[in-house]
Amino acid sequence: MKPQLSLIISFYNKIELLKLIFASLEMQTLKDFEVVIADDGSRREIVDEIQLIKNNYRFPIHHVWHEDNGWQKNKILNKAVVQATSDYLVFLDGDCLPHPMFLQEHFENKAANRVISGRRVMLTEKVSQKLNVSKMHSKYLQFWVFFELLVPTLFCKFPTHVENMLHVRNKWLRMLFIKDKPRGFWGCNFSLHKSDIIKVNGFDERYTYPGTGEDTDLEDRLKRIGVHPLSKKHMVIQFHYYHVQFNTDYEPNKKLRADNITNGVSYTPYGINKSEHEDRV
């Protein structure tokens, strides 16, 4: 029997962080899901450790891996999409920790021709270093971390976006105070029907550097077939583990996206199914 949803986690080498994600997944209010690890070439010892620990959890874990050949996140995500057995897919980056209602809220809000997206709370380095499995099994991220983020937010101007922690599920409060908007989605926090991502042939694998186009190209192409994003602010919450930010201003990515926009591409020949592209080569 198919699970209600498949959670696809992009991953590369950070096994201790993956264990924190697994610990947070043990606390999910929605129980019927599988995990597909989209592993962009982790070291052999990391792969072996995943095989050792994956049966320690109540949810099934599938590990999809390819050899390390530089940044090929989009390529391994496409393989993970194919591997996923559910009709509904949720995407999570391997440096993001989901709120206990993360999966339930993605699933509850799914709709035809719709991409559901959420926002992040940015953890400081100090808070990130304090995290452990025990804290994942407690109310730390949902409650106590708010107070620890207030000082860097108010006095150090660190962009924590701590306001995103406000969790609002009541439909009347949402109707009155929160307007769901058709905002663009982040690749670390979105969900959609598997059939919709198949219609556009998945991610464009020509993006071989993070940044512009990595996920926005998928958003562009989905919109062209009538599948539009909807941001559920103050729901589907996740917490972003601290790391030094890298430069995402990469000109080849910008050109690829611009070309796809100019040509009105919806179905990329550089995605899951490459047979049509290969026939033309």
Provide the residue ranges of all domains of the chain, joining segments of one domain with +.
5-280
What pLDDT is recorded for position 169?
94
Give the residue with greater pLDDT, 97 vs 172: 97
Q: Report the percentage of the chain scoring pLDDT > 90.
A: 83
Task: Quote the distance between the C-alpha of residue 30 and its chain's center.
Answer: 17
Q: What is the mean pLDDT of residues 26-35?
A: 98
Strand stretches in 51-162, DSSP E: 61-65, 88-93, 96-98, 114-117, 120-122
- Other residues' Cβ atoms within 10 Å of the Cβ of residue 153: 18
Q: Which pTM does this prediction carry?
A: 0.95
How many C-alpha atoms does 213 have within 13 Å on its Cβ side?
20
Q: 276: pLDDT confidence band, cut at 50, 70 and 90? A: low
Does pLDDT of 211 surpass 90? no
For the segment 167-192, what is each residue's pLDDT rounded down to a tens digit? 999 988 998 889 888 888 889 999 99
Q: 277: pLDDT confidence band, cut at 50, 70 and 90? A: low
What pLDDT is recorded for position 269?
97
For the chain, how are helix, strand and coil distributed in percent, rounded to 5? 40, 15, 45
Does pLDDT of 280 surpass 50? no
- By the 8 A CB rule, do 271 and 203 touch? yes
Does pLDDT of 252 surpass 80? yes
For the segment 38-87, what is each residue's pLDDT rounded down to a tens digit? 999 999 999 999 999 999 999 999 999 999 999 999 999 999 999 999 99
What pLDDT is recorded for position 61?
98
CATH code given to domain 5-280: 3.90.550.10
CA distance linking residue 206 with residue 24, whole number of Å: 33
Q: 194: pLDDT confidence band, cut at 50, 70 and 90? A: very high
Q: What is the mean pLDDT of residues 138-163?
A: 88
